[in-house]
Amino acid sequence: MSRRGVIFLILAIILVFGLIFWAAYALGSLASDTISWNEEYSEKSKQPYGLYLWGEIADTYFEGHEFEVSKKAPAKMLPQDESITDANYMFVGEGLYLDTSDVNQLLSFVERGNKAFIAAKSVPFDLMDYVYFEECNYNYWEDYHAVRDSMVTLKVGTVSIDLKHKNTLSTEDWQYNYYEGYRWPFLDEKFICPEEYFDGFVQLGTVTPSSISAQVYTSVENNYYNQNDGDIAFGKSFTNYVSIPYGDGEFFFYTTPITFTNYFLKDSSGLGYLENVLAYMHDGDTYYDTGSRVKEDVTRRMNNSYDPRLLNAKGPLTFIMQQRSLKWAIYGILALAALYFMFKAKRRQRSIPIIPPVKNTTLEFNKAMGELYFQTGNHRKIALKLKGQVLTYIRDRYRIPTHQLDDDFVTRLSNAAKLPVREVERLVELLNATRNLEYEDELLSELFQRTNEFYTTSR
């Protein structure tokens, strides 16, 4: 290309960039003057369902103690100092994403005596495998369900508040002619056992629909809710706030994060209700996680990633393409990429370095944890730790659901891992035996041996 052509190309690129930034600024300014009824869990958003007011009052609510706002994951945010036993972890968002290191760090943080408050419409299965490991009446964890209505009554303790969701009919709902209303997530009553059964969930708050046509939706085997035909919710109260002990600490799960938004905090009744929700927290430092937020359907797809039908569900790009300024910015970037490849078609690529495969440290971790807990004589706790590791490994490697360890699970795992059915059956029997309060030495030794063999011989 001649020198004059290069100059014209540079000027054309500068012009295109200028037009893109001008269009993004103009469209962004126009969008900022309009009201959006989408749920925007951001402390910078002043829209009705943003968290601007919560961000303003959070520091004063925890006055006298440090309120650390961090975009880092819990593995890097939470302190590892074992002397800290009166602090809080707090999350408010539509969906929560945690990887294995985040889950381990959060569990260790709570086990020392600290508390974790999670306000989300969906929580990761990887976390609940450890928190809800003693299944209530053998009911495996299935994520939150929901009741659909435009107006509900929320109650915590003796304080109640009537709430009406403003945007009760979205475009998607109108297209499919669904019942008008908002989906208020709740914890199904089958996961809440009597106190004498085991140290499980304790009900702290409820949500009660006000309409006679309110409907219950379940979330089993899907990242979206399925309507239970004929299950009318009128007159029923559903659990939306629970606590569950873990070690010396406690987890709090709150299924209605929308009550933290500007629309519900604009008057004193919303503030009074929120104060009662947070009254169970430690009077200490709080670590506020803003970096683990994802959309609700993202968390649900990850919880059910073994289901190939979910690949066609909505993804994170849906939000970007719904915003005019962001959409045109994407188009501009694609146009620039096309120009670049048009004038720079010659391939220039450096040598690709050899990256060694990631070493599997599962066996070392199990051995270390086994030696640690074996000294305490708590064989059942060792078995539960091994069970959590094995189930997480199976979900991540083979995309097989682990919420029900039955004959179908044995068949699928045997086919996927290329192992004899009898070996898999015995491994599942040992995993299910962790429900027993007493776990014998022989069972623990066999479980440890068979998990090691599973890791080394499975494909």
Lowest mean pLDDT segment, chosen from 119-123, 243-247, 374-378: 374-378
Biggest distance spanned by C-alpha atoms of the chain:
84
Output the pLDDT for position 10. 76
- CATH number assigned to the domain comprising residue 219: 3.40.50
Query: In which band, very low, low, confident or very high, does the pLDDT at 134 lie, cut at 50, 70 and 90?
Result: low
Q: Are residues 280 and 389 in the same domain?
A: no
Candidates 157, 162, 159; CA nearest to 184 is: 162
Helix (H, G, I), strand (E, B) or coil at 199: coil
The average confidence (pLDDT) of the chain is 79
Q: Are residues 77 and 210 in the same domain?
A: yes
Q: Are residues 143 and 14 in the same domain?
A: no
Cβ proximity of 459 and 418 under 8 Å:
yes
Q: Are residues 340 and 394 in the same domain?
A: no
Element spanning 355, H or E: none
Output the pLDDT for position 61. 83
Unique residue bearing structure tokens 């059915």? 421
CA-CA distance, 249 to 253, in Å (whole number)?
14
Question: Is residue 46 in a domain?
Answer: no
Question: Is residue 355 in a domain?
Answer: no
- Write out pLDDT tens, residues 12-54: 777 777 777 676 666 555 455 577 788 889 999 889 899 999 9
Output the pLDDT for position 119. 96
Tell me, yes or no, if the pTM score tops 0.85: no
DSSP 136: G
Question: Is residue 311 in a domain?
Answer: no
Lowest mean pLDDT segment, chosen from 4-8, 264-268, 318-322, 424-428: 318-322
Output the pLDDT for position 26. 60
Query: In which band, very low, low, confident or very high, does the pLDDT at 437 lie, cut at 50, 70 and 90?
Result: low
Task: Give the end of a domain, one of 306, 335, 354.
Answer: 306
- Write out pLDDT tens, residues 66-115: 999 999 989 999 998 989 999 999 999 999 999 899 999 999 999 999 99
Output the pLDDT for position 154. 93
Q: Are residues 419 and 446 in the same domain?
A: yes
Output the pLDDT for position 169. 40
Query: Residue 230: pLDDT above 50?
Result: no
Provide the number of structural domains found in the chain.
3
Q: Are residues 13 and 74 in the same domain?
A: no
- What is the average per-residue pLDDT within 263-274? 90
Query: Residue 1: pLDDT above 60?
Result: no
pLDDT over 90 for what percent of the chain? 25
Query: In which band, very low, low, confident or very high, does the pLDDT at 176 lie, cut at 50, 70 and 90?
Result: very low
Q: Which residues contact 237 (CB under 8 A, 6 or more apart)?
A: 155, 206, 207, 208
Question: Is residue 44 in a domain?
Answer: no
Query: How crowded is residue 416: how many other Cβ atoms within 10 Å of its Cβ?
Result: 16
Question: Is residue 356 in a domain?
Answer: no
Output the pLDDT for position 363. 60
Query: In which band, very low, low, confident or very high, does the pLDDT at 318 lie, cut at 50, 70 and 90?
Result: low
Helix, strand, coil fractions of the chain, as percent rounded to 5: 45, 15, 35
Question: Is residue 43 in a domain?
Answer: no
Look at the alpha carbons of 442, 447, 448, 450 in this order and tell me if their dihedral is positive or negative: positive
DSSP E strands, 233-328:
238-246, 249-254, 286-289, 293-294
Element spanning 275, H or E: helix 268-277
- What is the average per-residue pLDDT within 351-359? 75
Output the pLDDT for position 74. 93
Q: Are residues 94 and 209 in the same domain?
A: yes
Q: Are residues 296 and 378 in the same domain?
A: no
Domain extent at residue 342: 1-34+316-346
Question: Is residue 292 in a domain?
Answer: yes
- What is the average per-residue pLDDT within 202-215? 84
Question: Is residue 42 in a domain?
Answer: no
- What is the average per-residue pLDDT within 434-457? 79
Alpha-carbon distances of 146 from 95, 188, 202, 225, 296, rounded to whole Å: 15, 9, 19, 7, 13
Q: Are residues 207 and 339 in the same domain?
A: no
Output the pLDDT for position 142. 80
Q: Are residues 244 and 321 in the same domain?
A: no
Task: Give Cα 63 distance to the centre of its chain.
Answer: 28
Q: Are residues 334 and 446 in the same domain?
A: no
Output the pLDDT for position 123. 92
- Write out pLDDT tens, residues 320-331: 665 667 777 888
pLDDT over 70 for what percent of the chain? 74
Query: Residue 170: pLDDT above 60?
Result: no
What does the block give as tokens for 20?
């893109």
Query: In which band, very low, low, confident or very high, does the pLDDT at 306 lie, cut at 50, 70 and 90?
Result: very low
Q: Are residues 144 and 280 in the same domain?
A: yes
Nearest 5°: the CA angle 356, 359, 360 is: 150
- Write out pLDDT tens, residues 232-254: 667 789 999 999 999 999 999 99
